[in-house]
Chains A and B, each alone.
Chain A
């Protein structure tokens, strides 16, 4: 019988960004990204939900120790992005547009090597209370 359980840890970070394709001129950027392309940046309270799916361990009853997951997210994600300018202050977005989609993919890639291969990982990222993304998509 499948006894897979999903566990979730919620964290948050506050960051500045702008959406901009350097291969395009300003007019095209404004046409495509609207006010998100404004040159002096804007920002968000990002809310991150990390989902891990697997069978609970027989000895501990845990899919994964949530304290360990929390420490991992803090070390790999929050310290990297919190109170930063995603375009200017982070290696990951030097050449990658920091859309919510791309941020979710980057967070997945940063966390995946540190989580047991037998467990599934999914990222949900809220850019605003109304705009959010999931990766990988089910």
Chain B
């Protein structure tokens, strides 16, 4: 089994805000991340797939094709967008990177042709903060 990782990036605005709470409660929990006019990040997405190298190509999966799949299904929908407002698969969700990474998994995973398996998504929000998700609950 070999693990192959492709790195993509997108720049987006968001805010952390729970509409069921008062502004004061949001400020208390989310601090400056709750700023009503949004703030933004350069996000980096690491997509790791796993499989056996194909005997004819030597590839687990064509890395260029993986890049196209990630761009078509994920980064084009997120890049230069407002995650709270513009992204259909984040509608009615809190825009934390935890929720974003699980939503990206749901968008991307069905497009990977068997026997290629999605192994891990790593989503980097800042130089100091990132999440990893391996699918499942």
Which residues of A come within 8 Å of B, CB atoms? 12, 14-17, 35-36, 38, 40-45, 82-85, 88-89, 128-129
Residues of B within 8 A of A88 (CB): 37
B11-19, B46-54, B58-66, B97-105: which lies at the interface: B11-19
- Assembly CA distance A89 to B35 (angstroms): 10
Say yes or no: A15 contacts B37, CB within 8 Å. Answer: no
Between B13, B14, B40, the greatest number of chain A beta carbons within 10 A of the residue's beta carbon is seen for B40
The majority secondary structure among interface residues of chain B is strand
Q: Are B80 and A42 in contact (CB under 8 A)?
A: yes
| Residue ranges of B at the interface with A (Cβ–Cβ < 8 Å) | 9, 11-14, 32-33, 35, 37-42, 79-82, 85-86, 126-127
| B99 smallest CB distance to A (angstroms) | 17
Q: Contacting A41 at CB < 8 Å: which of B40, B41, B42?
A: B40
**Once the chains are docked, how many angstroms separate the CA of A36 from the CA of B13?**
12
- Also in contact, A85 and B41, with CB within 8 A (given A36-B80, A42-B11, A42-B80): no
Asked whether, in the complex, the Cβ of B33 is within 8 Å of the Cβ of A35, the reply is: no
Q: Considering residues B14, B33, B80, which has the most beta carbons from chain A within 10 angstroms of its beta carbon? A: B80
Tell whether, in the assembled complex, residue A45 and residue B127 are in contact, meaning their CB atoms are under 8 Å apart: yes
Q: Are A38 and B11 in contact (CB under 8 A)?
A: no
Residue from A16, A84, A85, A88 having most chain B Cβ neighbours under 10 A: A16
A83 to B13, CA, bound (A): 10
Q: Say yes or no: A42-B82 contact (C-beta < 8 A), given A14-B41, A84-B37, A89-B35.
A: yes
Residues A42 and B37 in contact, CB atoms below 8 Å apart: no
B56 to chain A, nearest CB (A): 35
Would B41 and A45 count as touching, CB distance under 8 A? yes
The minimal Cβ–Cβ distance linking A81 to chain B, given in whole angstroms, is 9
A82→B127 CA distance, assembly (Å): 15
CB pair B127 A43 closer than 8 Å = no
Chain A residues with Cβ under 8 A from B12's Cβ?
Answer: 42-43
Known: A42-B13, A43-B12, A82-B39. 19 other contacts (CB 8 A): A15-B40, A16-B39, A38-B81, A41-B37, A41-B38, A41-B40, A42-B11, A42-B79, A42-B80, A42-B81, A42-B82, A43-B38, A83-B32, A84-B39, A85-B35, A85-B37, A85-B39, A89-B37, A128-B9
